Structure 1
Amino acid sequence: MSLRTPPPAATPATRAGAAAAPPGGMLRATSARIRRLGGGPLHASCMLLLSLFLLLSLFGPWLAPYDPTFGSLGDTLVGPGAQHWLGTDQGGHDTFSALIVGTRSSLAGPLAVVLFSTAAGIAVGLFTAWRGGWIDTLLGRVLDILFAFPALLLAILAVALFGKGMTAPVIAMAIAYMPYTARVVRGLAVQEMARPYIAAYRVQGHSAVFVAVRALLPNIAPTLLAQSTVNFGYALLDLAALSFLGLGVQPPTPDWGAMINQGQTAVLQGQPLSAIVPAVAVVLVVVAFNVVGETLGDRLAGRDS
């Protein structure tokens, strides 16, 4: 996938050469560009699937037929049926209930990673592009160093230092994913700053923060959206792997990665659904986010998806 900078939104500054955009004008133009980034049937299907999982993450605890934290030893490794649609695991927990309730914890972690890494990446990328010189070079080397550390490795190190759970791994993974966003923002910002409308804002005496918020960010927002969707899929995969290793979300809180780990025994005993179902959910969400990100990237690059 190639994430190249989109053409700048039409603003009064680019048309007249000097006047600044009216309040909300550039944001409305950016919103219209985002709405035009829709894809074909595959893209629509992935968006529908992601919307379904989003609803489950919000309303899953009220939709679950059973309490996923309560297990019955009399219902251990029960096959699919009228009472338990997807069967139960070796602890007697209803797999379907654990799946839909675990959607919240499985998606909340990647969302936090993407939000924190995107916010930090935007700040670092805009700062380096605006200042340039030795600051740009120094921060560029720091980003190169961060690129050398896989996100999952940093998350494991954070767990070793601060204990199991999600807080430390999320912060560590946000730091690991930040350079990807920062590099994209920096490259786009350098190209945008060479355009006449940025010079018009500078001539009028606007501050760097004002220019960044009113001019640069609206123009690079669609590309950032595409990058964020890809980052979300990879963050979900990394955090699921961390929970699978027993270092992420801790029982009794349902989580897809932990469900896969706990279902290994059930697979050997002939009831694999408790492990297969959450694994399929992870794959579907990761693929859907990558398809959406690829579609947005292709549209931004001017190619048909």
Structure 2
Amino acid sequence: MERKDRILISSVRIFIKSQKAVTVCLVILSLFFLMAVLAPWISPHDPIQVNLAFKLRPPSWEYPLGTDHLGRCNLSRLLYGARVSLGFASLIFISSLGIGLLVGTFAGYRGGWIDLLLMRFCEGVMAFPSLVLVLGIVGLLGPGLWQVVLALMMVQWVYYARMFRSMVVSMKEQNFITAAVISGSSSWKIIRRHMIPNVLPPIVVVGTLEMGWAIMDISALSFLGLGIQPPTPEWGAMIHEGKAFIRSQPELMLYPGLMILFVVMTFNILGESLSERFGIKRRN
């Protein structure tokens, strides 16, 4: 490796570990979420309105990023696509985290055959590649965005459950938990007041990395035609529609591809920065 390459890699690592990286990533992600929320007000055109007289128009004042093969505004579709990608990725993360929190905490605290049964089930799910398992579930449920969301939730929660369970098992032996048990606190009170507040922050850190994977999974399945269905705008579906014009109008694939790349990269940098700071390892 050349000296310049080593310097560049070292600089990137130093940036990731710095407070500035966290701040920059949070600002960028806030702008993306704000863009998604305000899409109905800031989009110049209706994202699903077809106007064949304006198809494949170059960028102009009326259409800042041009139009697609059906005359729809590319900028408007990108803005509305952010609502789907970011919104449903957040839904998958929150839902999976909630299910994993309940199952993992309950299994770790109770132990015994309940813990054994639940963890063996989680290990069975984790034995399969996640995307292959999601494809199988979507194949059974049929194509559609909600089917994809349900399939991703069914696969993702087991990873959170495993992490929560391991944290709770190690925490049960701590003195403050023993003191709470001796004082007569109920199991639910101990879990709610002592365990969940201590195990939730590390999982949220790991969740920032998982948000990027959720966005990529949604986009990949939409690209394959299994996710969002036309005419609803979504970044992966936009890449699928633009592949027929890759030689004449490559920007139809470039715009949504850059959006996916930028958002996922920002989530990953944020997750890696927080992981470095708190000493938390991400799952493989």
Query: Does 2:282 align with 1:275?
Result: no
Alignment correspondent of 1:51: 30
Deviates more, 1:120-129 or 1:157-166: 157-166
Higher relative contact order (CA 8 A, sep 6+): 1
Q: How does 1:122-271 map to 2 (within 5 A)?
A: 122-269=101-248, 271=249
Match of 1:296 in 2: 274
Do 1:151 and 1:172's aligned partners in 2 also have CA atoms closer than 8 Å? no
Per residue, is there more helix in 1 or in 2?
2
Q: How is 1:17-166 mapped onto 2 (pairs within 5 angstroms)?
A: 39-166=18-145
Note the aligned Cα RMSD (angstroms): 1.8
Q: Quick one: distance in 1 between partners of 2:91 and 2:18?
A: 26
- Give the percent of matched residue pairs that are identical in Structure 1 and Structure 2: 37
String of CA shifts for 1:229-266, please: whole Å, max 9, x gaps. Answer: 11111111011001111111111111011001111122
CA contact (8 A) 2:21 2:273 kept: no
Write the distance in 2 (CA, Å) between the matches of 1:208 and 1:76.
Answer: 63
Q: TM (normalized to structure 2)?
A: 0.88
For 1:114 and 1:149, the matched residues in 2 are separated by 20
State the Cα deviation string for residues 272-301 of structure 1 (Å, max 9, x = none). Answer: 222111111111111111111112222212
SS in 1 for 2:33: helix
Query: In structure 1, what is the equivalent of residue 7 of structure 2?
Result: none
8 Å CA contact retained: 1:227, 1:293: yes
Q: TM-score, normalised by structure 1?
A: 0.82
How many residue pairs match? The answer is 265
SS in structure 2 opposite 1:248? coil
Give the gaps of 5 or more residues in structure 2.
1-16
1:65: Cα distance to partner? 0.2
SS at match of 1:263: helix
For the Cα contact (< 8 Å) 1:159–1:168, is it kept in 2? yes
